[in-house]
């Protein structure tokens, strides 16, 4: 059981601020969907409990805040940096430098603001549904694992992603397991709409990755966070449509 525990600790450390820092390792990728589902269930539980005491608008704010806390603002930081680096008219090296900078520019502020507002509006228009959030969030971490395994790393000097090199053979297995789990969880909310939200979120996430490949040649840690945030938001918006 040593290797599974090692992978779980590494996945939790990589995706959340919980626990002590652990060096990323390939075993962590197997646990990405499960950690995503657990984060989603927790956010969904906060949403459901808050909905029993407050209005839908307040419950939605608390759910969005819970997600930010459980992810340590890591993904929203990645969204801001990615927006600044990929959307501004810059050359490749300058884009990567901007994404590595701790400063946030106008593109990052605007995209982050719209994304958080969209998440709040979608949640506020729905009845609290923990299974929906668990499904979309499990899918989100599955996308992250698939990106790590299937997309080139953009920075020549390397980074945390180096710890995952050589995991390409696991892509099909992890993507299949994570996708099935995400679809089943989302279908537990609404059989047709939940899976549609997961599929739509997948398209949104990989749209971010396609832009990153075109402009910087691959993914970075910031792109992982941005893909997750955008995909989750697209999934929530689709779920909130008037079906």
Give the integer Cα–Cα distance in Å for 136 and 172.
19
Among 10, 26, 4, 15, CA closest to 164? 26
Domain contains 115:
yes
Please report whether residue 29 resides in a domain. Answer: no
Mean pLDDT of all residues belonging to the chain: 92
- Quick check: is 24 in a domain? no
**Model confidence over 130-140: pLDDT tens digits?**
999 999 999 99
Measure Cα distances from 17 to 130, 190, 195 in Å: 22, 31, 29
Q: What is the pLDDT of residues 99-110, one digit of tens each?
A: 999 899 999 999
pTM, full prediction? 0.93
pLDDT digits (tens, 9 = 90+) for 27-50: 889 999 999 999 999 999 999 999
Q: Are 228 and 73 in contact (CB under 8 A)?
A: no
Q: 64-68 — which CB contacts under 8 Å span 24+ positions?
A: 64/116, 64/119, 64/120, 64/123, 66/42, 67/39, 67/43, 67/119
Q: Looking at the domain assignment, is residue 176 inside a domain?
A: yes
Residue 41 lies in a domain: yes
Indicate whether 193 belongs to any domain: yes
The answer to whether the CB of 96 falls within 8 A of the CB of 155 is yes
* Rounded to 5°, angle at Cα 218 from 217 and 224: 150
Q: Looking at the predicted structure, is the pLDDT value of residue 2 above 50?
A: no
Cα gap 23→45, rounded to integer Å: 30
The answer to whether residue 6 is domain-embedded is no
CB atoms within 10 A of CB 80: 27
Tally of domains in the chain: 1
Range of the domain at 120: 36-239
* Cβ neighbours around 2 below 10 Å, total: 7
Residue 170 covered by a domain: yes
What is the C-alpha to C-alpha distance for residues 219 and 153, in angstroms, rounded to an integer?
Answer: 5
**pLDDT at residue 6, as a whole number:** 75
């Amino acid at each position: 059981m040593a290797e599974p525990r090692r992978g779980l600790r590494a996945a939790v450390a990589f995706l959340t601020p919980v626990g002590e820092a652990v060096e990323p390792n390939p075993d962590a990728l197997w646990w990405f969907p499960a950690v995503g589902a657990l984060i989603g269930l927790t956010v969904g539980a906060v949403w459901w409990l808050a909905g029993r005491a407050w209005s839908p608008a307040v419950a939605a704010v608390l759910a969005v805040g819970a997600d930010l806390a459980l992810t340590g603002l890591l993904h929203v930081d990645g969204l801001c940096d990615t927006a600044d680096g990929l959307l501004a008219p810059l050359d490749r090296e300058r884009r990567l430098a901007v994404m590595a900078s701790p400063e946030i520019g106008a593109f990052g502020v605007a995209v982050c603001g719209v994304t958080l507002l969209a998440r709040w509006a979608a949640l506020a228009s729905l009845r609290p549904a923990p299974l929906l959030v668990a499904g979309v969030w499990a899918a989100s971490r599955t996308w992250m694992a698939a990106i790590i395994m299937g997309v080139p790393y953009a920075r020549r000097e390397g980074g945390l992603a180096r710890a995952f090199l050589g995991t390409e053979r696991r892509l099909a297995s992890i993507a299949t397991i994570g996708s099935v789990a995400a679809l089943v969880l989302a279908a537990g909310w609404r059989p047709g709409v939940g899976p549609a939200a997961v599929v739509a979120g997948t398209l949104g996430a990989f749209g971010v990755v396609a832009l990153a490949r075109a402009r910087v040649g691959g993914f970075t840690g910031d792109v992982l966070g941005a893909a997750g945030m955008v995909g989750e938001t697209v999934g929530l918006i689709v779920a909130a449509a008037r079906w």
